[in-house]
Chains A and B, each alone.
Chain A
Amino acid sequence: DGGITQSPKYLFRKEGQNVTLSCEQNLNHDAMYWYRQDPGQGLRLIYYSQIVNDFQKGDIAEGYSVSREKKESFPLTVTSAQKNPTAFYLCASREERGSYNEQFFGPGTRLTVL
């Protein structure tokens, strides 16, 4: 079955440590996205990538970094510079070709920094 995998579902880290969240898709989608959710707020865009080896900052990119070395993988690193890293992180991918439009969401990772 095609889809998006995010692992792990729950992640705990000590303050000051960098942590990398995994996002893998086997949908052959060009575009991938990372979002963050805080209590009482909608999901906000951190970074996105429209093609391999290219990515752009979203609305709240500070304290995060990404890479897109392979089409199927878009890992997100939460660095120690991120002041409030505890949140729910959602990965998504998208393919749009003419009138065809396909959007998939991963299950998410809940990160808690202690």
Chain B
Amino acid sequence: KNEVEQSPQNLTAQEGEFITINCSYSVGISALHWLQQHPGGGIVSLFMLSSGKKKHGRLIATINIQEKHSSLHITASHPRDSAVYICAVQPHRDDKIIFGKGTRLHILP
């Protein structure tokens, strides 16, 4: 079993829909990251979370440390949100990040 699991693996939605991507992990962590990767493009860091909730524009990230779970939400989704979203965790007392396999999001106009 992977230490970081993302769901769904692939998601196609219509423009304007509310999007939720989930990340579950099995190790104790000091922080969790959400990253965005556009097709053929590079990585953009969206959020780093250690507790609670963060918001940036139409993006919201939440984390529940006790349940070892985080969600990334996109409100009023737009075709430009189409990308791969990657969850990554920093385990306690280990400097090696563990990455999820990513969720491929496609927003249709």
How many angstroms from the CA of A33 to the CA of B96 in the assembled complex?
8
Interface residue ranges of B26-41 to A (CB < 8 Å): 30-31, 33, 35, 37, 40-41
How many angstroms from the CA of A90 to the CA of B30 in the assembled complex?
21
Assuming the contacts A42-B102, A92-B97, asked whether A106 and B43 have C-beta atoms less than 8 A apart, the reply is yes
B101 with A107: CB separation less than 8 A = no
Nearest residue, chain A, Cβ from B44: A107
A42 with B97: CB separation less than 8 A = no
A110 with B43: CB separation less than 8 A = no
B92 CB to nearest chain A CB (Å): 10
Interface residue ranges of B76-108 to A (CB < 8 Å): 86, 88, 90, 95-102
Main secondary structure of the interface of B (DSSP, over half): strand
Q: Which A residues lie within 8 Å of B20 (CB)?
A: none
Nearest residue, chain A, Cβ from B4: A42
Contacts A104-B45, A108-B42 known; 4 new A-B pairs at CB < 8 A:
A45-B97, A48-B95, A106-B42, A107-B43
Q: Which residues of A contact B (CB under 8 A)?
A: 6, 9, 31, 33, 35, 40-45, 48, 50, 58, 90, 92, 94, 96, 101, 103-108, 110
Q: List 14 A-B contacts (CB under 8 A).
A: A9-B41, A9-B42, A33-B96, A41-B101, A42-B4, A50-B95, A58-B96, A90-B43, A92-B97, A94-B95, A96-B95, A101-B90, A107-B42, A108-B37
